[in-house]
Amino acid sequence: MRGQRFKLQCVSRGALPGGVLVVSSIVLLLSTAGALASQDPSSCVVCHRDPDLLVTNKKLYDYFKQWQSSVHQQEDVSCEDCHGGNAELSDKKAAHGEGIGGAAKSSGVNFKNIPKTCGECHDEILQGFRKSAHFEHVAAEEQGDQGPTCVTCHGSINVDVLDVTSIGKSCARCHNEESDNHPENPEKATAILNKFLSIHRFYRYITVRAEPAEAKAFFRDMDQRLEALTVTWHTFDLAKITEETEEVLSRLKAKRDELRKSRSESKSENKE
């Protein structure tokens, strides 16, 4: 049931790559805050937060701490949403079921099941990812020789988004001279995310300066483009990603320039 609710939130929420939440989502966030506060934690959390574990099984406790400081915890995405198991049962064996860790083939966090698990909520991204050479690799290879899956790039529990400073290193784990697997990819990806610095800057400028009605129409279109761009990212068609990024950037810049011009005109009118 939890998953269902989040599915709704995921599609209605736009987020700028790099983690800037789009304005319209704040309303949604506030409207769900009450519901979140009243929700009981799952049996998984009740057990796994036990501070005794810090002494008896620190590694296990660290996983809990990671989740506790994650976006997913804040969004009420709990252990069972990714791992499976039964979060209503307080007996360990019963709650864990057939296998709860990455090694169990039935587990949601088993290497091959990860795209599907994350895709329960990030469904449009999964659709893009399915078209990529990366997905083919995940589907084809046995564990050990791993093509990148969602957690390779974003981390598993305390997920992170890549930015201009981190993306090159992330891609270079596999795309480098030694592997001879498209060693130019890290640099290309870095160049694209570099443009996001300006995208964020223009986006903020327009948010602050545009009249509300004007901003609304502009951002309706812009947020759709940005969401589509996140999906395109996951196809890893670098030429198409570059094209869509440049389109977004030029639209934002044109709007910024227009607002700037009308500001300087009204300033000089005031002086006269």
183 binds ligand HEC (CB under 6 A): no
Pick 173 or 261: Cβ nearer ligand HEC: 173
Q: How far is the CB of 213 from ligand HEC (least distance, A)?
A: 26
Using the rule CB under 6 A, which residue among 92, 105, 260, 261 binds ligand HEC? Answer: 92
- In total, the chain counts a number of residues equal to 272
Among 109, 210, 215, 259, binds ligand HEC (CB under 6 A): 109
Q: Are 173 and 147 in contact (CB under 8 A)?
A: no
Q: How far is CA 179 from CA 147, 174, 175, 184, in A?
A: 13, 7, 7, 12
Residue span 68-87 as binding mask against ligand HEC, x where in contact by CB under 6 A, dash where not: ---xx--x-xxxxxxx-xxx
Cα–Cα distance measured from residue 51 to residue 106, given in angstroms and rounded to the nearest whole number: 29
Q: Which residues contact residue 206 at a Cβ distance below 8 angstroms, ignoring those fewer than 6 apart?
A: 215, 218, 219, 252, 255, 256, 259
Considering the complex, what minimum distance in angstroms separates the CB of residue 257 from ligand HEC? 26
Q: Which of 262, 263, 251 is nearest to 218 (CA)?
A: 251
In whole angstroms, the minimum distance from the beta carbon of 269 to ligand HEC comes to 40
Residue from 61, 113, 121, 252 touching ligand HEC (CB under 6 A): that is 121
Residue 161 engages ligand HEC in binding (rule: CB under 6 A): yes
Q: Is residue 122 involved in binding ligand HEC (CB under 6 A)?
A: yes
Residues 125/13, Cβ–Cβ less than 8 Å? no
The Cα 139–Cα 148 span in angstroms is: 10
Tokens found for residue 8? 């709704």
Q: Are 132 and 182 in contact (CB under 8 A)?
A: no
**Residues in 202-241 at the binding interface with ligand HEC, rule: CB under 6 A:** 230, 233-234, 236, 238
Q: How far is the CB of 242 from ligand HEC (least distance, A)?
A: 11
The yes or no reply on residue 245 touching ligand HEC (CB under 6 A) is no
**Distance (Å, rounded) from C-alpha 44 to C-alpha 47?**
5
Structural contact between residues 237 and 188, judged by C-beta atoms closer than 8 angstroms: no
Q: Does 185 bind ligand HEC (CB under 6 A)?
A: yes
Q: Which is nearer to ligand HEC, 187 or 258 (CB)?
A: 187
Using CB under 6 A as the binding rule, the residues of this chain from 2 to 31 that contact ligand HEC are 2-3, 6, 9-10, 13, 15-19
Residues in binding contact with ligand HEC, number by CB under 6 A: 86
Q: Between residue 128 and residue 147, which ones bind ligand HEC under the rule CB under 6 A? A: 129, 133-134, 137, 146-147
Q: Does 256 interact with ligand HEC (rule: CB under 6 A)?
A: no
CB of 211 to ligand HEC, least distance (A): 27
Q: Does 154 bind ligand HEC (CB under 6 A)?
A: yes
- The yes or no reply on residue 101 touching ligand HEC (CB under 6 A) is yes
137 contacts 102 by C-beta, under 8 angstroms: no
Give the pair of three-digit tokens for residue 55. Answer: 């002494």
Q: Give the Cα separation of 116 and 72 in Å (integer).
A: 17
User: Is residue 248 a contact point for ligand HEC (CB under 6 A)?
Assistant: no
